[in-house]
Structure 1
């Protein structure tokens, strides 16, 4: 598996120091929110060639590679998976924009979270919403496959404002219903904690792995992660036993302690894997 971290854990001006810490801890992958990687660009999903080259060189010089992208609908106005025709078109354009950037930089995984852009509106049934989402994701799955990437669907608990695919079971079933090779599953450990399912996770990993293309090592509300390496070790062991070979990525918001806190969390991830 590829050990990774998301750039939402540091400020853009801290990126080089963060990359150095990742390299020192033995990480190989970087997950990006384009709005942070290309924060100075007029449109972070359309960075010019020179800006992109500088950013990619900085990453490669630390022995890191891009493994995933998140915050896919950053800056997109009026997008809604279950909105009217205009809102659905904005949603599809925003997702297409992210897919195009992933293809440009050979990023193999896109994380679809976006709790507010996927809320089922009052008056729409769960059955109608699911059918509509399957159609849209089959379409953007085709676009993702053509770009050489996949869209991994994230479980978003109710406490984060979501009302569609709020449990791992629902998300797993939806991915199976879409039945597209470029529409996959992400395992978010923070969601498992919030939903009270974390302790049962190691026993479930084997069945999940065929659909799984990304793992977020996270805590509730994006607190510093992993909080406890010993809790993470059984999950990592189950992933390894199941033959999972893709990214296991720290996802946490920038902590008050900044890079020193990040240093400790990177070490905790490395310790969990070593154990």
Structure 2
């Protein structure tokens, strides 16, 4: 199984210590939050001074080369792709700017040879009257077409109702992707959502072909607990021949916790 971990789980100062632990555990993927690597600089309201996370493609290429040549890692996924953005996909006045920003993310991912970008963005997708969920189809269809142009996919992630009121169930994310049938769209299977909603992994066996990336996560991104669902998921993925990455996603925690988690997940998904 291809294993990765998201770099939101530790401090920047611990990067090399975690990379070493990843190598020892057999992990080959580093999922990134772009602003964790390239923090925005300058004033966002001043285009002459502001430098966003996706503005330096040369730096992205150098970072990708460093990961591959020094550590043997690829970047299988990007998350938090709209960090700092305030627009909403249901507001017509916001969609053009959001799509332009997303296209920058796609170009950045292409430069990194990163195939999948997670679309969570719960604050940017709340659906309030008079808008209806069906209105989002046009946005995602356009976004999927942009993704295909750059040779990547936008992986739609369901988020529980505590975070947003649109695409709350895993089945909703699959339904959107199957309905649009856009090659630039896929599903990010998020275990924390499945756990929070009381969903059953077996209900999604026939849909795994639509999955481009998987998050092993806990509700509220707490440190990973040992759960029977992990072994169940590993068996399911092997049975259907899943070839993507399984990635650990936790909020920032201690270096020891990261190391223990890497060892545990490597054992379960061996």
Counterpart CA distance in 1 for 2:63 and 2:74 is 11
Q: Within the alignment, does 1:192 sit opposite 2:190 as a pair?
A: no
Counterpart CA distance in 1 for 2:151 and 2:136 is 22
Give the match's secondary structure for 1:169: helix
CA gap 1:252/1:152 in 2 versus in 1, 3 angstroms:
same
1:229 positional shift: 5.3
Q: Within the alignment, does 1:150 sit opposite 2:163 as a pair?
A: no
Answer yes or no: is the 8 Å Cα contact 1:144–1:151 preserved in 2: yes
Q: Which deviates more, 30-39 or 85-94?
A: 85-94
Structure 2 equivalent of residue 253 of structure 1: 251
Structure 2 equivalent of residue 136 of structure 1: 139
1:110 positional shift: 0.6
Answer yes or no: is the 8 Å Cα contact 1:9–1:251 preserved in 2: yes
Answer yes or no: is the 8 Å Cα contact 1:106–1:148 preserved in 2: no
Counterpart CA distance in 1 for 2:144 and 2:229 is 34
Answer yes or no: is the 8 Å Cα contact 1:230–1:272 preserved in 2: no
Structure 2 equivalent of residue 65 of structure 1: 74
- Superposed CA deviations along residues 105-158 of structure 1, whole A, max 9, x for unmatched, are 111001000001001012223xxx32x221121111111111111011000000
Alignment of 1:201-220 (within 5 A): 201=201, 203-220=202-219
1:47 positional shift: 2.5
Query: Among 251, 265, 269, which residue is 1:269 paired with?
Result: 265
1:171 positional shift: 1.4
1:53 positional shift: 4.8
Alignment of 1:1-275 (within 5 A): 1-39=1-39, 42-47=51-56, 49=58, 51-60=59-68, 61-76=70-85, 78-83=86-91, 85-125=92-132, 129-130=133-134, 132-160=135-163, 162-197=164-199, 200-201=200-201, 203-225=202-224, 227-228=225-226, 230-255=228-253, 258-274=254-270
CA gap 1:254/1:179 in 2 versus in 1, 3 angstroms:
same
Counterpart CA distance in 1 for 2:107 and 2:128 is 29
TM, length-normalised to structure 2: 0.91
Counterpart CA distance in 2 for 1:158 and 1:208 is 22
1:250 positional shift: 0.2
Structure 1 equivalent of residue 48 of structure 2: none
Answer yes or no: is the 8 Å Cα contact 1:213–1:246 preserved in 2: yes
CA gap 1:252/1:92 in 2 versus in 1, 3 angstroms:
same
1:39 positional shift: 2.9
Aligned residues: 260
The unaligned stretches of length 5 or more in structure 1 are: none
The unaligned stretches of length 5 or more in structure 2 are: 42-50
CA gap 1:149/1:100 in 2 versus in 1, 3 angstroms:
same
- Superposed CA deviations along residues 169-220 of structure 1, whole A, max 9, x for unmatched, are 11111111111111111110001110011xx21x234212111111000000
Answer yes or no: is the 8 Å Cα contact 1:8–1:33 preserved in 2: yes
Structure 1 equivalent of residue 47 of structure 2: none
1:73 positional shift: 0.8
